[in-house]
Structure 1
Amino acid sequence: ANKIHKPMLRGAVNHRYLTLAVFGAIFVMTIGYMASGRIKQTFMPEVEGDFMQVSIELPQSTPFERMREVAEQLNAARRQLETETADLAAPDPNTGTNSNGVVRSWAMTVDENTVRAWVALTPPESRDLRSKKIAERAKELLGDVPDAERIGFDLSGNNNGPAIQIAVIGENQEDLSAAVEDLKAKLLTFSSVRSVRDSEEAANEELRLKLKPGAERLGVSLAALSNQVRQAYFGEEAQRLPRDGDDVRVYVRYPEEARRSLSSLEEFRVRTEDGREIPLSAVAEMTFEEGVTGLDRRQRQRSIMVEAEADREARGDIMRELEESYFPQFDARYPTVSRRDLGEAESQQEFMAEIFRLLTFAFFGMYALLAIVFRSYAQPALIMSAIPFALVGAIIGHGVFGTAFGLFSYLGAIAAMGVVVNDNVVLIDKMNQFRDEGENAFSAALDAGVSRFRQIFLTSVTEFIGLAPMIFEQAAIAQFLKPMALSLAFGVLFCMPVTLILSPCLYLIGKDVKDNSGKLWRLWRRGWSREAQISPAE
């Protein structure tokens, strides 16, 4: 400490304003580097896992035979993937038997309008092929499913839905539809976006009946007509038969042969109130129109959700570009339409708003406690001045390891802030002790920095070394905690020079400000009193 740190600290405090400028420049450049998008940001971390969920959503009216065809198509893709990755086979940790390429196990279900497959992959440490590449290759092998509404390959079992979800809100249907198509076209221009859809695309075609003029004079109403068609094709409950403790409902309706085609509907005869039977075509017009599977309303207005499948680490860059170069023109072009981020973006916004609110309370509470202990309003601010540099260290750590900055990264940075405050408390307390013993401010700052060097150095380095195994661990379960470990380790490590070098400089800068402000106050009072003395002579 005396041979290396003391000369370095002496040079820093002698040029304390230059030292402050250097640390300030590092802070600004680091925050700017992150804001530029060079460090990816994602709410939940994309980890290298050993699980993949495949989901293929088809229209609600899809026949079961078509669902089976899609399931077989997915099975064929799985067999091809197993063949291509046969050289990457690894023993199953549970059974000891070799896997089929990178596929350890496979389970598939066909439920309503969705084909799902749960795929257990070989452990990441036993293969060179990343899970993301496996998912991309599986999608290529699956090929085109023209009637699919959504095809998802979700890794690590997150299944958080599409990476980008934006609700377009408005009452004017024409403007709303035009805005949705405009937004979809813009999203498709991004190379990382794989597919785009909106909530209205799920609508099925349906047959609508409209009464012809004069139909009511024949005693036919739209309600009666609809009821008769329903009875013929869906059925009318005739009776219930008790069987094995349950009721079996018996429906009366047309035979199956008469319900297979629309030609029977064209020949359908409607019974009037007086018992006559007339052709359906004589009293009603039949048209095929796009139906509505659901009506979504937000802020008391109609809403259409636009979803885009994309890499989650690229979502921040996409949203940033939209906010800067597209949404201002979008808002001007469609003034009757508003928009709102949903899904992961909405969760991230809520999290950031809540965490900033709580941090504000925490900082005020911390400042109040330090002010009481140190009996000063300035020294708590000096102690807390190192807090922002914990975030700088966290950003540097993520940049070094190429890890995306997310939820757990912020939590790790907050933990590092607590350690940094503790180190500064120890240093400032030692400065106050030397001042009480009669040393001047310069000597107290220099001696305290040297005296507390060993404690602060060992605390920071040992904490970094203790977190190193988690940082370098390759197991899938550790990848969730890796961003937190990076933030805590590098935040504490970077704040070590902040505490040992910048804090003494700030202490002396504060002393300079106090002395100079006192001189200015005395000069001002002296000038005021002199002016008061010469004013009677005038």
Structure 2
Amino acid sequence: FLPLLLTTGIIGKFISIVPQVIAIALLLSLLEAIFILPAHLAEFAKSEAHLDEYFGDHVRHAHTGAARLMYRLARLDWEMRKRVDAGFVRVTQVYRYMLRVALRRRYLVIAGSFLTLLLALALPATGILRFQLFGADYVDRFMINLETPPYYRLEDTSAAVLALERDLMSNIPPHEIAAVIATVGIRQQDEFSNKYGNNQAQVVFDIDEENPACRRPTPILNDLRAVVRRHPAFSFARVEREEGGPPVGKAVNVRIMGDDFGTLQIIADEYKAFLSTIPGVADISDDFERGKNEVHIDIDEGKAALAGCDVAVVGAAINSAFQGAEVSVFRWGNDEVTVRVKYADEHTRALDAIRNFRIVNTRGVQVPLGSIATITRAPGLASIFRRDRKRVISVFADVDDKRITSTEANRLVRSRFGDVGERHPGCTVSYTGEEEETNESLRSMAIAGAIAFFLIFAILSGILNSFIQPVVILAAVPLSLIGVIFGFMVFQLPLGFMALMGTIGLAGIVVNDSIVMVSFINEYRAAWQRRHGIGVDVRANPNRFVNTMARWSSLLRSGPLRLRPIFLCEATTVAGMSTIAFVRSGQEQFIAPMALAIVCGLTFTTVISLLITPCGYAILDDLVLFFFGSGLAPGEDDGQGAA
């Protein structure tokens, strides 16, 4: 778990507490297993004879019924344990038969397991099983971000928002509304910043998710979008859900970079037009905002040169006309007053008046501004975004998770606009938002998984004194994905980040069970070597200096001995996780995929630990015999046949 600390980005910060808490909990559980658990076993795991001996005198000399009650409860517990033991005897007999059959067909079992793994991995690779970073359908509130035209006053924006509020209250069922809060003059721009202005507004629509009659968030979201679309007063409107988990950006976020805003706007319009044709994609917009009307003065440098002017002279004259030129400074009491001379407002508002501005050239002659420049009135730019010194326009869109995922939508967009750089030289496109966070988190988790795999391999190699046995143990980790993938297919849920977290926890359980199985096989063989005096004159190895009968006996006896602890470990884990895994409402559904991954994975890892791991160990024996021979100690004679 500790390599998860290497996960980068916002998601890495979000999950950094998980490996820390788990590491501390596992260290404390180790102390409990070493010191506290033996005391519990000594007190509660008593035999039938010990119960009679312990309670006999107390029952005979008791003045109350307390001792008799305790004795009867203890006897009842013992009887229940005997019945459970009898049931496990029958289960063990069935398992022993299955193990014997699997070992005889060990190559077929291993080949079938890995073929099934390849089939399972093909499901998410081909898009049959969808991937969604965070797929919980739970929302506390919706954020409706609004923007009116830039010339709207604060009162005009307030009136438009009030009309929208009334429309929302009349079209959404009252039992689904907890509160509607409107704010004018500010709205949320992204996860980390706000936008201010007379034409900015935000409506917080809080739903009553605790009401059993309240619908799921997705239908409510669709209704809100339909209501907002009926209000043409807003030049920009986006309905967003406030979701759990770390901020991961928009479902579709295309960043277009270049030097010319005209070209960037053409590309952005192409993206928006294509996104509008994809079913399930909604709230399509961009961040290219037109500002208030401006007067654009485009100077013809050739005409200006002939008239004895240059851009600097014209710019200084225009600045003096609009901003004023400082001509004097005088004292007014204790204050210093600056005197500026500028054109009167009536001479700076009309285009004809601006065209008649007189510019004094280098020869002292007045030149009309309209004779050397083209003067137009057009909307300006409210803001300019840059990245890597390039101008940027970003296209955003949201998706309906029931119809299409962010990964699928971005895949369609990538395939459609793969030639943007060829059609528009100098322009580049990058995909950010949820797509970027997904790729970054998957890359960092892959690195963390590789480091964890190496660390586990190194630890097991040192403990088992073998470089091959850890491979048998760790082979169970990828095979555990079979249960996870097919489980999510059965429940028709997309894989996501929390499912990956559950898979990491599942890998720890699978490794532990396989370690228990391999350790018992080694212990059985080591005990056989000690009984036959091997290990005194030679350095014994559990995989060598063992005859054929001992090899098969170690496999056939270790499995039934470990059946109960492995079954109980996985059964109790499944029972505990089931309370969360199948939750489909409330905040718990955010972590439900993690629990579901463990539950579905454990249903298959039982087969891995009890059947596939012994088959892998048997194949390891075949390889040892093939490359190193029988491995009998000096003086040993293998006269026994195979089991």
Question: TM-score category by the smaller chain?
Answer: 0.7 to 0.9
Q: Following the alignment from structure 2 to structure 1, what is the Cα–Cα distance between the partners of residues 318 and 170?
A: 53
- Percent sequence identity over aligned pairs: 25
Report what 1:118 is aligned to. 204
Cα deviation, 1:406-439, whole Å, max 9, x if unaligned, reads 2222122111111111111111101111222336
Report the Cα offset of residue 164 of structure 1.
1.2
Report what 1:226 is aligned to. 315
Q: Does 1:465 align with 2:575?
A: yes
Cα deviation, 1:115-158, whole Å, max 9, x if unaligned, reads 21222211255334122221221121122566866432111257
Report what 2:396 is aligned to. 307
Report what 1:503 is aligned to. 613
Distance 1:180 1:505, change over 3 A: same
Q: Following the alignment from structure 1 to structure 2, what is the Cα–Cα distance between the partners of residues 251 and 411?
A: 68
Report what 1:515 is aligned to. 625
Report what 1:209 is aligned to. 297
Q: Following the alignment from structure 2 to structure 1, what is the Cα–Cα distance between the partners of residues 506 and 345?
A: 71
Q: Which amino acid is 2:242 matched to? A: S
Distance 1:259 1:157, change over 3 A: farther
Q: Which amino acid is 1:309 matched to? A: D
Q: Which amino acid is 2:408 matched to? A: D
- Secondary structure, counterpart of 1:306 in structure 2: strand
Distance 1:260 1:134, change over 3 A: farther
Cα deviation, 1:240-281, whole Å, max 9, x if unaligned, reads 999xxx999998766666666545534555566898766432
Q: Following the alignment from structure 2 to structure 1, what is the Cα–Cα distance between the partners of residues 429 and 368?
A: 49
Following superposition of structure 1 onto structure 2, how do residues 381-530 of structure 1 map, counting pairs within 5 Å?
A: 381-438=471-528, 440-474=550-584, 476-518=586-628
8 Å Cα contact 1:48/1:124 also seen in 2: no
May I ask how many residue pairs the two structures share in their alignment?
501
Which segments of 5 or more consecutive residues in structure 2 lack a partner in the other structure? Answer: 1-90, 187-196, 529-548, 632-643
- Secondary structure, counterpart of 1:452 in structure 2: helix
Q: Which amino acid is 1:318 matched to? A: A
Report what 1:317 is aligned to. 408
Distance 1:240 1:510, change over 3 A: farther
Q: Following the alignment from structure 1 to structure 2, what is the Cα–Cα distance between the partners of residues 425 and 27?
A: 21
8 Å Cα contact 1:162/1:310 also seen in 2: no
Distance 1:355 1:191, change over 3 A: same
Distance 1:7 1:73, change over 3 A: farther
Distance 1:150 1:513, change over 3 A: farther
Report what 1:165 is aligned to. 253
Cα deviation, 1:42-89, whole Å, max 9, x if unaligned, reads 223343111111112456xx0233x65455444433323323344x52
Q: Does 1:369 align with 2:459?
A: yes
Q: Following the alignment from structure 1 to structure 2, what is the Cα–Cα distance between the partners of residues 480 and 470?
A: 10
8 Å Cα contact 2:481/2:503 also seen in 1: yes
Which structure exhibits the higher relative contact order, with contacts defined as CA atoms closer than 8 Å and separated by 6 or more residues? 1
Report the Cα offset of residue 353 of structure 1.
1.4
Q: Which amino acid is 1:32 matched to? A: A
Q: Which amino acid is 1:109 matched to? A: V
Report the Cα offset of residue 497 of structure 1.
1.5
Q: Which amino acid is 1:83 matched to? A: S
Q: Following the alignment from structure 2 to structure 1, what is the Cα–Cα distance between the partners of residues 123 and 372?
A: 71
8 Å Cα contact 2:141/2:204 also seen in 1: yes
- Secondary structure, counterpart of 2:92 in structure 1: coil
Q: Does 1:82 align with 2:192?
A: no
Distance 1:109 1:303, change over 3 A: closer
Q: Following the alignment from structure 1 to structure 2, what is the Cα–Cα distance between the partners of residues 189 and 376?
A: 58
Q: Which amino acid is 2:409 matched to? A: I
- Secondary structure, counterpart of 1:440 in structure 2: helix
Q: Which amino acid is 2:589 matched to? A: Q
Cα deviation, 1:343-379, whole Å, max 9, x if unaligned, reads 2211221111111112111111110110110011111
Following superposition of structure 1 onto structure 2, how do residues 93-172 of structure 1 map, counting pairs within 5 Å?
A: 101-111=176-186, 112=197, 113-123=199-209, 126-143=212-229, 150-156=236-242, 160-169=248-257
Q: Which amino acid is 1:48 matched to? A: Y
Q: Following the alignment from structure 2 to structure 1, what is the Cα–Cα distance between the partners of residues 573 and 337?
A: 70
Q: Following the alignment from structure 2 to structure 1, what is the Cα–Cα distance between the partners of residues 95 and 211?
A: 42
**TM-score, scaled to structure 1:** 0.79
Q: Following the alignment from structure 2 to structure 1, what is the Cα–Cα distance between the partners of residues 230 and 579?
A: 44
Of 247-256 and 504-513, more deviation after overlay is shown by: 247-256
Of 218-227 and 33-42, more deviation after overlay is shown by: 218-227
Q: Following the alignment from structure 2 to structure 1, what is the Cα–Cα distance between the partners of residues 231 and 331?
A: 44
User: What is the alpha-carbon root mean square deviation over aligned residues?
Assistant: 3.9
Which segments of 5 or more consecutive residues in structure 1 lack a partner in the other structure? Answer: 90-100, 522-538
Distance 1:256 1:161, change over 3 A: farther
Of 149-158 and 379-388, more deviation after overlay is shown by: 149-158
Q: Which amino acid is 1:163 matched to? A: A
